[in-house]
């Protein structure tokens, strides 16, 4: 879904538990109003809502948003097509998210390795 070329354009996801809608927008290259719309269209995208109905996204939400973005913007899917692809019977979403997590962890480990070499 997200090929490595697209993944390098997006910033590394920081090691945090929760992200605000603005942070997620920056991490995924999507504006906040688009994220709010996608929440209505993709039932699996369900951020935690707290104080004053503020949205807090978790890491798996950020990965899913990146996958949705890739399907819509890079692969040319419609909203309906992307939803069908994510809800596919073969569990494509879980496999893709697992692959993305592995890539993300690998990038973070490489950064840590570079920092350790500088010491």
Burial track 58-94 (b if 16+ CB lie within 10 A, e otherwise): bbebbbbbbbbbbbbeeeebeeeebbebbeeeeeebe
User: Among residues of the chain, what percentage have pLDDT more than 90?
Assistant: 51
Residue 108 has a CB neighbour count (10 Å cut-off) of 14
* pLDDT higher than 80, residue 98: no
pLDDT band, residue 2 (cuts 50/70/90): very low
87 against 7, higher pLDDT: 87
CB 111 within 8 A of CB 18: no
pLDDT band, residue 103 (cuts 50/70/90): confident
- Structural domains in the chain, CATH included, are 4-118 (1.10.1660.10)
Q: Which pLDDT score, from 0 to 100, does residue 3 have?
A: 43
For residues 76 and 61, give the distance between their C-alpha atoms in angstroms, rounded to a whole number: 21
95 against 111, higher pLDDT: 111
pLDDT band, residue 94 (cuts 50/70/90): low
Phi, psi (deg, nearest 5) at residue 54: -75, 140
3 against 96, higher pLDDT: 96
CB 49 within 8 A of CB 57: no
Q: Which pLDDT score, from 0 to 100, does residue 107 have?
A: 86
Could you read off the pLDDT of 24-43 as tens digits, one per residue? 999 999 999 999 999 999 98
């Amino acid at each position: 879904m997200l090929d490595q070329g697209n993944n390098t354009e997006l910033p590394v996801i920081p090691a945090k538990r929760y992200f605000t809608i603005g942070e997620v927008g920056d991490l995924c290259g999507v504006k906040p109003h688009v994220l709010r719309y996608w929440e209505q269209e993709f039932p699996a995208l369900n951020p935690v809502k707290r104080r004053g109905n503020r949205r807090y996204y978790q890491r798996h939400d950020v990965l899913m948003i990146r996958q949705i973005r890739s399907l819509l913007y890079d692969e040319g899917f419609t909203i309906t097509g992307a939803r069908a692809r994510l809800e596919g019977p073969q569990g494509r979403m879980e496999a893709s998210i697992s692959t993305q997590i592995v890539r993300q962890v690998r990038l973070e480990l490489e950064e840590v390795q570079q920092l350790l070499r500088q010491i």
